[in-house]
């Protein structure tokens, strides 16, 4: 439990910087260029729940107890997602983007920060309904191997199924969501034909480089956790990974406009944050 005086002091900002540096040096997880308020909030919550008295003490624990590091990693990461999240995004994909991709003999898509995979299967269903799945390969990456394990299984609980069905309909779904999965008790499993078109693998946007050259990149609600510097890095990485006139789809409250590479992209749909790559960045 942290005391109130400590909360009021500048010390906690210094201690958090040191903690993030320690995590990076010891484990290679680089949170140094993440937005700070979110991390700070999570760190303080962890302190309140534990019998640790200060962030400096927490740093000692992180360095000496790898199990504790795992807890911190779970605290820091955000894996909130759902099928057809923001249905309007998928509707725009269906109407305005897939007709463009359809002109290619084969399609490569990179879904960066795919979390537990719900949105990857959503895209696969969309591709299936537009007759493009068989010529598409989706590379779905995340830096967290735990969520990738979930994604690979293609199994989800039925808890949110009603919401998923509603989203699917709003996204312009042509059939029923239940056409695409098998339900067993409280679990749904998506048809193996989707899984076959998806390659899941670990990739860290903060530290890794160009993954592969693709026609479209989807990366939603990941950039919001990064500071401007890191956003610039990642947007450049996306630019370098896209073919000419490749498509970039990001979260509805994210933007590339204010990044150093804003000029390198053009809106396809401003409200849905879908962009097309214009030209090479002048180095």
Partner 1 sequence: MTNYELVVIGASAGGMNALKEILSNLDRDFAYPIVAVQHVAPDSENYLVEYLDEYSNLNVREASEKQRILPYHVYFAPPNYHLLVEEDKTFSLTVSEKVNYSRPSIDVSFETAALAYKERIIGILLTGASQDGAKGMQMLHTLKGMTIVQDPRTASVPVMPQAAINLVSVDYKLPLEEIAPFLNTLSRTHAGRKEQEG
Please select the residue that binds partner 1; options are 41, 149, 193, 196, rule is CB under 8 A. 41
Residues 157, 135: Cα–Cα separation, whole Å: 29
281 secondary structure, DSSP code: P
CB of 71 to partner 1, least distance (A): 16
Beta strands in 134-233 (DSSP E): 136-142, 155-157, 181-184, 187-190, 198-202, 214-219
Bridge-based pairing state of the strands 242-250 and 214-219:
parallel
Residues 248, 269: Cα–Cα separation, whole Å: 11
Contact between 40 and partner 1 (CB under 8 A)? yes
CB closer to partner 1 out of 141 and 221: 221
Judged by CB under 8 A, the stretch of 31-39, 62-70, 175-183, 236-244 that binds partner 1 is 31-39
If you search the block for the tokens 């150093």, which residue do you land on? 260
CA Rg value for the chain: 20
Please select the residue that binds partner 1; options are 142, 147, 255, 273, rule is CB under 8 A. 255
Please say whether the beta carbons of 208 and 183 come within 8 A.
Answer: no
CB closer to partner 1 out of 35 and 204: 35
Residues 121, 84: Cα–Cα separation, whole Å: 9
Contact between 171 and partner 1 (CB under 8 A)? no
Please select the residue that binds partner 1; options are 141, 171, 221, 241, rule is CB under 8 A. 221
* Interacting residues of 235 by C-beta distance below 8 A, sequence separation 6+: 223, 256, 259, 260, 261
Please select the residue that binds partner 1; options are 25, 28, 37, 103, rule is CB under 8 A. 37
206 secondary structure, DSSP code: T
CB closer to partner 1 out of 246 and 251: 251
Please select the residue that binds partner 1; options are 17, 64, 174, 228, rule is CB under 8 A. 228
Find the binding residues for partner 1 in span 50-79 (CB under 8 A): 78
Please say whether the beta carbons of 68 and 18 come within 8 A.
Answer: no
CB closer to partner 1 out of 149 and 229: 229
CB of 127 to partner 1, least distance (A): 24
Contact between 162 and partner 1 (CB under 8 A)? no
Residues that bind partner 1 (CB under 8 A): 4, 7-8, 12-13, 35-38, 40-41, 44, 78, 80, 221, 224-225, 228, 251, 253-255, 258
């Amino acid at each position: 439990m942290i005391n109130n005086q400590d909360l009021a002091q500048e010390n906690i900002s210094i201690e958090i910087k040191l903690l993030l540096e320690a995590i990076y040096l010891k484990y290679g997880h680089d949170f140094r260029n993440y937005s700070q308020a979110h991390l700070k909030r999570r760190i303080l919550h962890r302190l309140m729940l534990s019998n640790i008295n200060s962030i400096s003490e927490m740093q000692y624990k992180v360095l000496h107890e790898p199990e504790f590091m795992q807890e911190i990693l779970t605290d820091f990461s955000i894996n909130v997602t759902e099928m057809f999240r923001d249905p309007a995004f998928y509707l725009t994909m269906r109407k305005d983007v897939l007709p463009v991709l359809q002109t290619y003999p084969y399609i490569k898509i990179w879904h960066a920060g795919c979390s537990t995979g719900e949105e990857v299967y959503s895209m696969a269903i969309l591709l299936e309904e537009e007759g493009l799945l068989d010529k598409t390969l989706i590379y779905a990456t995340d830096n967290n191997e735990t969520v990738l394990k979930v994604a690979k299984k293609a199994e989800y609980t039925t808890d949110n199924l009603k919401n998923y069905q509603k989203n699917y309909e709003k996204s312009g779904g042509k059939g029923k969501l239940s056409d695409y999965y098998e339900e067993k008790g409280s679990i749904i499993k998506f048809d193996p034909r989707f899984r076959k078109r998806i390659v899941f693998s670990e990739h860290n946007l903060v530290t890794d480089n160009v993954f592969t050259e693709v026609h479209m990149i989807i990366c939603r609600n990941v950039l919001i956790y990064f500071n401007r510097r890191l956003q610039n890095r990642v947007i450049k990485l996306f630019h370098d990974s896209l073919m000419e006139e490749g498509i970039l789809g990001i979260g509805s409250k994210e933007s590339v406009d204010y990044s150093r590479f804003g000029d390198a992209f053009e809106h396809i749909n401003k409200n849905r944050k879908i962009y097309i790559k214009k030209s090479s960045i002048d180095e």
